[in-house]
Amino acid sequence: MRIIIIGSGNTATVLGKAIIAAGHQVLQVAGRNRQAVDSLAVELGADSTTDLKKIRQDGELYIIAVADDAIAMVTSQIQLGDKMVVHTAGSVSKEVLKNCSSRYGVLWPIQSLRKEMRTIPEIPFLVDANNEENAEKLALFALSLKGPCMIGDDEKRLRLHLAAVMVSNFTNHLYALAEEYCTKEKISFDLLHPLVAHVAERIRENTPKKLQTGPALRHDQQTIHKHLQLLEAHPALREFYELFTKSIERMYL
C-alpha cells in the first residue's frame, strides 16, 4: 500500500518503521519541523514536505500522526477527496476528519511508542471508520503490521484509552516515584528491574486480581505501619502508598 504520513514524532516514526517492515511503501512524510521531517523521510525512503498544500495526491492511505490538539488544524488544511485518511489518537473522534475526505477513520496503536526504540514492539490496534467497508479495510492493513486488531467506535476507543493511561502512564509514574525514592535513600533501583518485568509478564497468563501479593492483601498492619514511617520524608510517595493500600484492602475484604 502507498502511504503518506503526516507527522514526524514518536508515533509517526515507529509506525513508519512498522509500515516499511510490513512491505508497504511510504511515499511522503509531511510536518512542520523541517529537520525531523527530512530525517524521517530519509529513514523511510520517502519524499518530504513542510507545506501541507504540497501533500502528494497519489497515496492510498493518509495517516495523521500528530498531537491530539493539532489534528483539527491539519485537517483544516488538506482536501483529499475520496482518499482514505486516518488519525492515530486514542481520545479524538473520527468525525474530526469528515471535512477533508469522504473516507476516514482511526488507526489507534495501543502501545507506548518512542522514536528512539531499537526494536518495534508488538502493537495492537483499535480501528474505526465512517462505514463498515472502510473499517474492514483498515483492520486488514493493521493486521499486516503484525499486531492484533479489533474494530471499535469512538466510545469504546475512549474507554480503552482511559484504561491504557492507567496501566501505562500511571504505572510509569509509580516507577518514577520509586526510582526517586531509591536514589534519595541510596539503594539500587536497578535491582527492581526483574521484578517489574516479571509482574508485567504474569498478567498475560492470569487476571491481575488473582496475582495480587503484598502486605495490603495480607492485611499486615505491622509492615504497613513500618513502610509509612519510612515514607514520612517522601510525602508524594506516601500519599500513593496509602491510597493503593486502602484500595487493595477494600478489594480483598
CA–CA gap between residue 234 and residue 243 (Å, rounded):
14
Pairing of strands 61-64, 47-49: unpaired
Q: Distances in Å between the alpha carbon of 118 and those of 14, 17, 91, 99, 205?
A: 10, 11, 27, 37, 27
Q: What is the mean pLDDT of residues 15-28?
A: 97
Query: pTM for the full model?
Result: 0.91
The runs of H, that is alpha helices, within 22-101 are 34-44, 71-75
| 52-103 pLDDT tens trace | 999 999 999 999 999 999 999 999 999 999 999 999 999 999 999 999 999 9
Q: What is the per-residue pLDDT across 104-150, written as a single tens digit (0 to 9) for each?
A: 999 999 999 999 988 999 999 999 999 999 999 999 999 999 989 99
In what helix (H) or strand (E) does residue 140 lie, and over which residues does it extend? helix 132-144
Residue ranges of domains in the chain: 2-152, 158-251
What is the reported pLDDT for 118?
Answer: 87
CA distance 40 to 16: 8
Question: Is the CATH code 3.55.50.30 the one for domain 2-152?
Answer: no
Cα 139–chain centre separation = 18
Mean pLDDT score of the chain: 96
Q: Which fold has domain 158-251?
A: N-(1-d-carboxylethyl)-l-norvaline Dehydrogenase; domain 2 (1.10.1040)
